Structure 1
Amino acid sequence: MKKLFTLILFFIGFVTFSQTDDNPILVNPTVEKVSDTEYDLIFNITIAEDWHLYSQYNPEDASLPMTITPAEGESGYTISGKAKESETETEFSEIWGKDEVFFVDEATIVQRITITDTSLTQITLNLDAQVCKEYCLPFDEDFTFSLTGEAVEQTVAEVSDKSKSLSESLKLDLKNTVLLKSSTDKAGDDKDSSLLNIFLLGFVGGLLAFLTPCVFPMVPLTVSFFTKKTEQKGKGLGSALLYGFFIILIYALLSVPFHYLDTLDPEILNNISTNVWLNVFFFAVLIFFAGSFFGFYEITLPSSWSNKADSASSIGGIIGIFFMALTLAIVSFSCTGPILGSLLAGSLTSSGGAMQLTAGMTGFGVALALPFALFAMFPGWLNSLPKSGGWLNTVKVILGFLELAFAFKFLSNADLVGHWDLLKREVFIGIWTLLALLMALYLFGFIGKKYGKISLFRVLLGICSLGLAVYLAPGVMEKPAWSQSKLLSGFAPPQFHSIYQQDNKCPLNLNCFKDFNEGVAYAKSVNKPILLDFTGWACVNCRKMEENIWSQPDVYSVLSNDYVLISLYVDDNERMLPEDEQFDYIKPNGKVKRIRTYGDKWATLQIANFKTASQPFYVSLSPDLEILNTPEQYTDKDTYLKWLKSGLDRYKGN
Structure 2
Amino acid sequence: MKPFLIIFSVLISALSFGQANDPVQWEKSIKKISDTEYDLIFKATIRDGWHLYSIEEVEGGPIPTSFLFENEANAFELVGPMKESESITEYDQIFEIDLSFFDHEAVFTQRIKLLDENLNVLKALVEYQACDDKVCIFTDNDFTFSLDGSEVSLAEKNIDERSLALSKQLKLDIKNPNLIKGANEIAQNKNGLWGIFALGFLGGLLALLTPCVFPMIPLTVSFFTKQSDNRSRGIRNAVFYGLFIIIIYFLLSIPFHFLDSLDPDILNNISTNIWLNLFFFAIFIFFAFSFFGYYELTLPASWGAKMDKASSVGGLLGVFFMAVTLAIVSFSCTGPILGGLLGSTTLSEGDVATNLSAGMTGFGVALALPFALFALFPNWLNSLPKSGGWLNTVKVILGFLELALAFKFLSNADLVAHWGILKREVFLGIWILIFILMILYIFGKLRFPHDGPKSKLSFSRISFGILTIAFTVYLISGLAKFTSLKLLSGFPPPEFYSVVEQKSECPLGLNCFKDFEEGLAYAKSNNKPIMLDFTGWACVNCRKMEENVWSTPDIYKLLNDEYVLISLYVDDRKELPEDKRFDFLNSNGRVRAIETVGKKWATFQYLNFETASQPYYVLMSPEMELLNSPEQYTDSATYKAWLEQGLNNFKNGGAD
TM-score, normalisation: structure 2? 0.80
Q: Could you tell me how far apart the structure 2 residues matched to 1:545 and 1:453 are? A: 45
Contact 1:203–1:363 under 8 Å retained in 2 = yes
Q: Could you tell me how far apart the structure 2 residues matched to 1:195 and 1:230 are? A: 38
Contact 1:440–1:461 under 8 Å retained in 2 = no
Where do residues 244-283 of structure 1 align in structure 2 (5 Å cutoff)?
Answer: 244-283=242-281
Change (3 A) 1:590 1:251: closer
Change (3 A) 1:118 1:264: closer
* Alignment partner of 1:464 is 2:462: no
* Alignment partner of 1:160 is 2:160: yes
Contact 2:619–2:626 under 8 Å retained in 1 = yes
Q: Which residue of 2 is the match for residue 106 of structure 1?
A: none
Alignment-mate amino acid for residue 372 of structure 1: F
Q: Could you tell me how far apart the structure 1 residues matched to 2:326 and 2:387 are? A: 18
Q: Which residue of 1 is the match for residue 444 of structure 2?
A: 445
Alignment-mate amino acid for residue 338 of structure 1: P
Deviation per CA, 1:315-356: give whole Å up to 9, x if none.
Answer: 111111111000000000000000001111222333321010
Alignment-mate amino acid for residue 462 of structure 2: V
The unaligned stretches of length 5 or more in structure 2 are 1-14, 32-40, 51-62, 70-81, 89-102, 114-121, 131-138
Q: Which residue of 2 is the match for residue 486 of structure 1?
A: 486
Change (3 A) 1:320 1:502: same
Alignment-mate amino acid for residue 246 of structure 1: F
Deviation per CA, 1:346-369: give whole Å up to 9, x if none.
Answer: 223333210101111110000000
The unaligned stretches of length 5 or more in structure 1 are 10-25, 33-38, 45-54, 59-67, 82-109, 130-138
* Alignment partner of 1:367 is 2:366: yes
Q: Secondary structure at 1:534's aligned position in 2? A: strand
Q: Which residue of 2 is the match for residue 12 of structure 1?
A: none
Q: Which residue of 2 is the match for residue 112 of structure 1?
A: 105
Deviation per CA, 1:147-185: give whole Å up to 9, x if none.
Answer: xx9969988744332211101000111111110111123
Q: Could you tell me how far apart the structure 2 residues matched to 1:40 and 1:276 are? A: 42
* Alignment partner of 1:512 is 2:512: yes
Q: CA deviation at 1:488?
A: 1.6
Change (3 A) 1:257 1:174: same
Where do residues 334-349 of structure 1 align in structure 2 (5 Å cutoff)?
Answer: 334-349=332-347
Change (3 A) 1:354 1:205: same
Change (3 A) 1:340 1:621: same
Change (3 A) 1:195 1:71: farther
Q: Could you tell me how far apart the structure 1 residues matched to 2:392 and 2:325 are? A: 22
Q: Could you tell me how far apart the structure 2 residues matched to 1:455 and 1:78 are? A: 77
Q: Could you tell me how far apart the structure 1 residues matched to 2:242 and 2:317 are? A: 14
Alignment-mate amino acid for residue 224 of structure 2: F
Contact 2:428–2:475 under 8 Å retained in 1 = yes
Alignment-mate amino acid for residue 625 of structure 1: M
Q: CA deviation at 1:114?
A: 6.2
Change (3 A) 1:31 1:377: farther
Q: Which residue of 1 is the match for residue 231 of structure 2?
A: 233
Contact 1:533–1:566 under 8 Å retained in 2 = yes
Q: Secondary structure at 2:565's aligned position in 1? A: strand
Q: CA deviation at 1:504?
A: 1.1
Alignment-mate amino acid for residue 336 of structure 1: T
Q: CA deviation at 1:56?
A: 8.3
Where do residues 572-611 of structure 1 align in structure 2 (5 Å cutoff)?
Answer: 572-573=572-573, 575-611=574-610
Alignment-mate amino acid for residue 113 of structure 1: A
Where do residues 134-145 of structure 1 align in structure 2 (5 Å cutoff)?
Answer: 141-143=141-143
% identity of equivalent residues: 58
Change (3 A) 1:127 1:652: farther
Deviation per CA, 1:295-327: give whole Å up to 9, x if none.
Answer: 111111110111111111111111111110000
CA RMSD of aligned residues (A): 3.2
Deviation per CA, 1:29-72: give whole Å up to 9, x if none.
Answer: 4599xxxxxx992679xxxxxxxxxx8899xxxxxxxxx99456
Q: Which residue of 2 is the match for residue 394 of structure 1?
A: 393
Q: Which residue of 2 is the match for residue 35 of structure 1?
A: none
Q: Secondary structure at 2:567's aligned position in 1? A: strand
Q: CA deviation at 1:589?
A: 4.8
Q: Which residue of 2 is the match for residue 99 of structure 1?
A: none
Deviation per CA, 1:225-261: give whole Å up to 9, x if none.
Answer: 1001223211111111100011011111011111111
Q: Secondary structure at 2:190's aligned position in 1? A: helix
Q: Could you tell me how far apart the structure 2 residues matched to 1:417 and 1:497 are? A: 12
Q: Which residue of 1 is the match for residue 496 of structure 2?
A: 496
Deviation per CA, 1:355-405: give whole Å up to 9, x if none.
Answer: 101111110000000000000101111111001000000000110010001
Q: Which residue of 2 is the match for residue 190 of structure 1?
A: 190
Contact 1:124–1:145 under 8 Å retained in 2 = no
Contact 2:308–2:322 under 8 Å retained in 1 = yes
Deviation per CA, 1:252-299: give whole Å up to 9, x if none.
Answer: 101111111122222112112211111111001000000010111111
Q: CA deviation at 1:593?
A: 1.2
Q: Which residue of 2 is the match for residue 454 of structure 1?
A: 457
Change (3 A) 1:118 1:471: closer
Q: Could you tell me how far apart the structure 1 residues matched to 2:30 and 2:64 are? A: 16
Q: CA deviation at 1:439?
A: 1.1
Change (3 A) 1:305 1:500: same
Alignment-mate amino acid for residue 454 of structure 1: L
Q: Could you tell me how far apart the structure 2 residues matched to 1:557 and 1:545 are? A: 15
TM-score, normalisation: structure 1? 0.80
> Given the alignment, which residue of 286, 291, 304 partners 1:288?
286
Change (3 A) 1:356 1:322: same
Contact 1:244–1:372 under 8 Å retained in 2 = yes
Q: Which residue of 2 is the match for residue 540 of structure 1?
A: 540
Q: Could you tell me how far apart the structure 2 residues matched to 1:499 and 1:174 are? A: 41
Q: CA deviation at 1:141?
A: 3.3
Contact 2:247–2:364 under 8 Å retained in 1 = yes
Q: Could you tell me how far apart the structure 2 residues matched to 1:423 and 1:190 are? A: 33
Change (3 A) 1:232 1:516: same
Q: Which residue of 2 is the match for residue 41 of structure 1?
A: 43
Contact 2:45–2:105 under 8 Å retained in 1 = no
Q: Could you tell me how far apart the structure 1 residues matched to 2:520 and 2:313 are? A: 69
Contact 2:26–2:42 under 8 Å retained in 1 = no
Q: Which residue of 2 is the match for residue 95 of structure 1?
A: none
